[in-house]
Amino acid sequence: MGVADTAQQITEFVRANQAWAAPVVFALAFSESLAFVSLLAPAWAALVGIGALIGSSGISFWPVWIAAALGAALGDWVSYWIGRKFEHAVQHMWPLSRHPDLIPRGEAFVAKWGVLAIFIGRFFGPLRASVPLVAGIFEMPYWRFQAANFSSAFVWAAVLLTLGDIVSKAVAWVWR
């Protein structure tokens, strides 16, 4: 089963079970931002799909947005902690051992951009998984990391959910 099929099934589940929208979005955003897991389960497509439901199905934007942002921030927080705790040993753990370029790319990115790397990295696939881990490995100051982590999580969540909402409205407008 591909990413698109999985995203569609999750979106259909949320459409049929709207009370589960916030918990499902929280779990998706957490897994999308958690080191290791995000490489195996890209959840962005499902988040965009659920964003498309917001305008058309009556799901409220605010709880879903907060759930997505908190899930993403907590996923990065755990990734940062893993980096602080295990340092360079994480490079040799599966699945990162199968992607040996991720940690050096993340390190170069963090070295170049500093705290902004946390914000920027949230919006780019493989960097999303490696930047918080690298920030922990190289002991980025905790509060600077968290400020960038939480602020970027709220922006990222709003962008994905709004993108889905805008696309669904554009499709509806075209099909009229």
Residue range 65-79, pLDDT digits in tens: 999 999 999 999 999
User: Which tops the pLDDT comparison, 89 or 11?
Assistant: 11
Span 23-33, average pLDDT: 94
The Cα–Cα gap between 50 and 48 comes to: 5
- The pLDDT score that the predictor gives to residue 42 is 66
- The pLDDT score that the predictor gives to residue 57 is 81
Per domain, the residue ranges of the chain are: 3-174
pLDDT one-digit tens code per residue, 38-70: 766 768 888 888 988 887 788 899 999 999 999
pLDDT one-digit tens code per residue, 87-121: 878 778 776 777 778 778 778 888 899 889 999 98
- The pLDDT score that the predictor gives to residue 157 is 95
